[in-house]
């Protein structure tokens, strides 16, 4: 399809397990964002890539969270030693433009992570 | 971080216009106002954005005040499928969008 694709759609992890969440952005999109959305809350910014460069990781909640986009396309968000508070929907978004203001971002369906 | 203020919830009758307000008093002169919505269990969906002038597309209209400190999203003929949480935002230095708590719009039959 032409949209942002995330996999898996659902993930159940045991506490302490490592997980990897994948995002396939729209082809040719330069910018890529990860957000975390807890139940009943708005999405919270985690990190931002421009091509392969991670320009902003100010929203990553701890050093257990790591994101990469090695070839400037597919991105992976990795969470090490998962905790119950990591349970949330993880959203990926991509946008074509680099322009500071005029940026329409397209979101994927998200990955729902449940840590038990 | 960019902050906006929106009512927590609103109701609208099906077929009527839904007018969703947003205050963004700290917006800078070159920052765009964006509106997204999120239907239950889906990712946020882009609706519209604008800088100074009013904008219209197939989904909605965006009215921005002259001082740019507030805006209104208008859904001209709301349907039941428009029931969602609507987020008003403006872009930051790295283009990241800061979501607030949004407005839950409930369209009533």
pLDDT digits (tens, 9 = 90+) for B1-24: 568 999 999 999 999 999 999 999
Q: Is the pLDDT of residue A58 over 90?
A: yes
B44/A43 CB distance under 8 A:
yes
Half-sphere exposure of B7 (CA within 13 A, CB side): 12
Ranking A58-72, B54-68, B91-105 by mean pLDDT, the lowest is B91-105
| Cβ neighbours of B96 in A, within 8 Å | 33, 45, 48, 56
Contact A101 B51 (CB under 8 A): yes
Taking residues B79-105, what's their average pLDDT?
85
Shortest CA gap A27–chain B (Å): 18
Query: Do residues B16 and B78 lie in contact, with contact meaning Cβ atoms separated by under 8 Å?
Result: yes
Judged by a CB distance cut-off of 8 A, whether residue A28 touches chain B is no
Q: For chain B, what is the mean pLDDT?
A: 91
Sheet holding B33-38, edge to edge: B9-13, B103-108, B84-90, B33-38, B45-50
The residue of chain B nearest to residue A105, with distances taken between CA atoms, is B46
pLDDT in tens, A12-57: 999 999 999 999 999 999 999 999 999 989 999 999 999 999 999 9
Residues of B whose CB is below 8 A from A7: none
Q: How many residues does chain B have?
A: 109
């Amino acid at each position: 399809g032409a949209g942002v694709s995330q996999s898996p759609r659902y993930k159940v992890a045991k506490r302490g397990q490592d997980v990897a969440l994948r995002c396939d952005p729209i082809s040719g999109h330069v910018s890529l964002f990860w957000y975390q959305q807890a139940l009943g809350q708005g999405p919270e910014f985690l990190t931002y890539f421009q091509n392969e460069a991670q320009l902003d990781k100010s929203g990553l909640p701890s050093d257990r969270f790591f994101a990469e986009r090695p070839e400037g396309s597919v991105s992976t968000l990795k969470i090490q030693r998962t905790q119950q508070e990591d349970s949330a929907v993880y959203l990926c978004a991509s946008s074509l433009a680099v322009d500071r203001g005029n940026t329409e971002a397209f979101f994927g369906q998200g990955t729902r992570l449940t840590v038990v | 971080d960019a902050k906006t203020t929106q009512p927590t919830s609103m109701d609208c009758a099906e077929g009527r216009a839904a007018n969703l307000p947003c205050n963004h008093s700290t917006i800078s002169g070159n920052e765009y106002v964006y509106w997204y919505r999120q239907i239950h269990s889906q990712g946020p969906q882009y609706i519209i954005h604008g800088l100074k002038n009013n904008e219209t597309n197939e989904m909605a209209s965006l009215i921005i005040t002259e001082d740019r400190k507030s805006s209104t999203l208008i859904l001209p003929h709301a349907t039941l499928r428009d029931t969602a949480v609507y987020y008003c935002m403006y872009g930051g230095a790295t283009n990241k969008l800061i979501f607030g708590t949004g407005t839950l719009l409930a369209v009533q039959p």
